Structure 1
């Protein structure tokens, strides 16, 4: 059998490695700006640029529908551009931080633009979004990350991967790693269990977390998110609460204290190690039950009534089936913690289909120097 011939190369189409002069347009979800080539108007997603700049960008990938590129020279700079605080950030270097070239207030404005655009495009909502700085987190956006995953290198070195690549950049010190961060290295078993102390306006508790298990990365995130969930959800004594994608029980603990001994909180989490630790973390709280199951499956099987639902799904969001099951429980309120604005916006649309409207949206800069942003939304019956 003969091998099919490769499609002919379009001589007018930029190739990987080509240098293009581009005018940087608006920020897009993912940490890049949108530009277009002058000849054909082909879309180019450009990293390391800011809206309004004119840059020289090197094409790094051709997706077929669009190009990806890195800005390697700035011809006309934005007033928001600053020197990167990390020597490992930039084109072809560590892929962990994609906004170090923007001042922190500008980073937050750009993230707000992304959240606003996703809600408009995917949910049909026009919402005024402000990304809030984290209280008591300092003003430089550094030393905030409580969990780090490194790649082992020869001679006891360690590194981090380049953007969309298996290439490893050797790193002596990552400026966003917090003092005392839990660090793991490929091929090296992590610490089995780590104790995390969380101090909030509602009290202080200790939580055991697997060394390689999920925990909010920003050192102040547990406090900020617990306080925001309690503020928006306003749990009342005697209420029945569902905490979905509950992890080791961070929200469950504070929700249980709020509803008191006459209330009940059910935590649902699919990871067996997390639920084992959650059971230990929550053992002193009456009315708490921990369910080890996938959230969609647990809801399908039936999990009882709920006055309030709190959910913190993974980056892909809750999705339509889970939303449908939640609405069928007719809670008075749903508090949704989201780490991805696109997934949140899709679920906002699904909730609207089921008769729930977004009443309040808070957004926090829990991932400085990166394009990521954390949102907490309150939904009530329409």
Structure 2
């Protein structure tokens, strides 16, 4: 049994709709609630409580369905051609406004189920370009990614992975990427000997950076050929098959990002928000949350700080008489932050696990905290340490509504209050959604 005819139910966390077959839950990608579809099962292990599948034919479509924005990610077209859809645009068949309604429904459901909070959260559009009136005008949801990660197939062609699979599919375009990345034409290169390709194109328009991770050691002639193939359109670095720091072949080893008055250095291995407007949108939301608690001489912490996106405005608010603890686990990204803030004495950049650093700094005064954990969330130990530190406000920036709701539930159990939550659509055409919340300790 490979295909089933199913009526799709509500949206679920992770980009699926929920269907049922003979009492078993089936999580289905590439559909819409209410549709009648034919589903190709992709995961049917007998011991599992649920199965997974992809829509391969629409029998009764939703009015919110549209032509997919990117052919390689179109499940209907891919299966019809005997292939599989790539990941990264699993909502590309849905009208943008409906994408945001579905994401908001997921956030509300996770808050209700895991944190026992009933809240009417909406997901806001984040425009591709800044607007003079400050409003979030809709666009087509394309050309927003300033960072892309690609695979390479066995024939040396640029490719992307299928969802939850080692299978790779060659691509000839990437319409979610900013045009500076598309113009590089990486799909035209012979990438034999390369395992992965990372590209960073700053929103400022600065020259992009391409990092090739090698599948095997290549000779100097082959490395030179790779750099020449990219040309002057981008800086080029390589990471050895044995790992280690990138080696610069051409241009610079890092890019500069500008957010308002703040400038950051980000290397190829460093983390930066991928939507071209995400840094300023998130910075504004975070300052709305914790800004009122920060003045000259205050003490703040930026936890899971990355390259220091939020560290910079926090440091500006507390001034030279205040302090900002900026903690990041990734050595490379922490080095980026240290380079950016090396002349700001009030900023203490620490590389290490957040729970370990907070344990070492137990008793240190904190007036406000920005918490921006990875998809797994902060976790119980960090939440416990925050409760003990009792800052006046915490801005929680979350890329996963389930882990956020779980952490929120623990904070609420400890007597904290949720002041507000905002949803931001920083990942159009995908199921991902960013939330920013303001939390305060009990009185």
Settle same-fold status: TM greater than 0.5.
yes
Give, in whole Å, the separation in 2 of the partners of 1:337 and 1:345: 12
Give, in whole Å, the separation in 2 of the partners of 1:268 and 1:59: 43
Displacement after TM superposition at 1:136 (Å): 4.0
Q: Give a deviation string over 1:161-204, Cα, whole Å, max 9, x none.
A: 1111111110111111113342545425366732232233xxx2
**Which residue does the alignment assign to 2:49?**
65
Is 1:27–1:114's contact at 8 Å kept on the other side of the alignment? yes
Is the deviation greater in 230-239 or in 189-198?
189-198
Displacement after TM superposition at 1:251 (Å): 0.6
Give, in whole Å, the separation in 2 of the partners of 1:177 and 1:184: 16
Is 1:356–1:380's contact at 8 Å kept on the other side of the alignment? yes
5 Å-filtered alignment, 1:250-265, equals 250-265=309-324
**Which residue does the alignment assign to 2:378?**
318
Give, in whole Å, the separation in 2 of the partners of 1:154 and 1:61: 25
**Which residue does the alignment assign to 2:235?**
none
Is 1:148–1:184's contact at 8 Å kept on the other side of the alignment? no
What's the TM-score once normalised by structure 2's chain length?
0.78
**Which residue does the alignment assign to 2:258?**
198
Q: Which runs of 5+ in 1 are unaligned?
A: 1-14
Is 1:150–1:185's contact at 8 Å kept on the other side of the alignment? no
Give, in whole Å, the separation in 1 of the partners of 2:148 and 2:213: 11
Displacement after TM superposition at 1:154 (Å): 5.5
Aligned to 1:77, which of 45, 48, 61?
61
**Which residue does the alignment assign to 2:166?**
166
Alpha-carbon distance change, 83 to 184 in structure 1, aligned in 2, over 3 angstroms = farther
Q: Give a deviation string over 1:186-224, Cα, whole Å, max 9, x none.
A: 425366732232233xxx222111202211111111111
Alpha-carbon distance change, 136 to 93 in structure 1, aligned in 2, over 3 angstroms = closer
Question: Is structure 2 residue 354 aligned with structure 1 residue 295?
Answer: yes
Displacement after TM superposition at 1:364 (Å): 0.5
Displacement after TM superposition at 1:155 (Å): 5.8
The structure in which a higher percent of residues are helix is 2
Question: Is structure 2 residue 143 aligned with structure 1 residue 143?
Answer: yes
Is 2:421–2:435's contact at 8 Å kept on the other side of the alignment? yes
Give, in whole Å, the separation in 1 of the partners of 2:339 and 2:271: 16
5 Å-filtered alignment, 1:166-185, equals 166-181=166-181, 182=200, 183-185=210-212
Question: Is structure 2 residue 83 aligned with structure 1 residue 26?
Answer: no
5 Å-filtered alignment, 1:217-228, equals 217-228=274-285
Is 1:257–1:285's contact at 8 Å kept on the other side of the alignment? no
**Which residue does the alignment assign to 1:3?**
none
Is the deviation greater in 209-218 or in 75-84?
209-218
**Which residue does the alignment assign to 1:46?**
28
Is 1:150–1:186's contact at 8 Å kept on the other side of the alignment? no
Question: Is structure 2 residue 111 aligned with structure 1 residue 119?
Answer: yes
**Which residue does the alignment assign to 1:7?**
none
Give, in whole Å, the separation in 1 of the partners of 2:154 and 2:42: 28
**Matched position secondary structure for 1:88:** helix
5 Å-filtered alignment, 1:333-348, equals 333-348=393-408
Q: Give a deviation string over 1:9-56, Cα, whole Å, max 9, x none.
A: xxxxxx3x2x2111110000010100011xx22111111110011111
**Which residue does the alignment assign to 2:93?**
101
Alpha-carbon distance change, 217 to 280 in structure 1, aligned in 2, over 3 angstroms = same
Is 2:301–2:368's contact at 8 Å kept on the other side of the alignment? yes
Give, in whole Å, the separation in 2 of the partners of 1:361 and 1:131: 10
RMSD of aligned residue pairs (Cα, Å): 1.6
Alpha-carbon distance change, 65 to 171 in structure 1, aligned in 2, over 3 angstroms = same
Is the deviation greater in 188-197 or in 216-225?
188-197
Aligned residues: 361
Give, in whole Å, the separation in 2 of the partners of 1:239 and 1:367: 34
Give, in whole Å, the separation in 2 of the partners of 1:107 and 1:274: 32
**Matched position secondary structure for 2:146:** strand
5 Å-filtered alignment, 1:221-240, equals 221-234=278-291, 235-240=294-299
Is 1:195–1:206's contact at 8 Å kept on the other side of the alignment? no
Displacement after TM superposition at 1:156 (Å): 4.9
Is 2:127–2:139's contact at 8 Å kept on the other side of the alignment? no
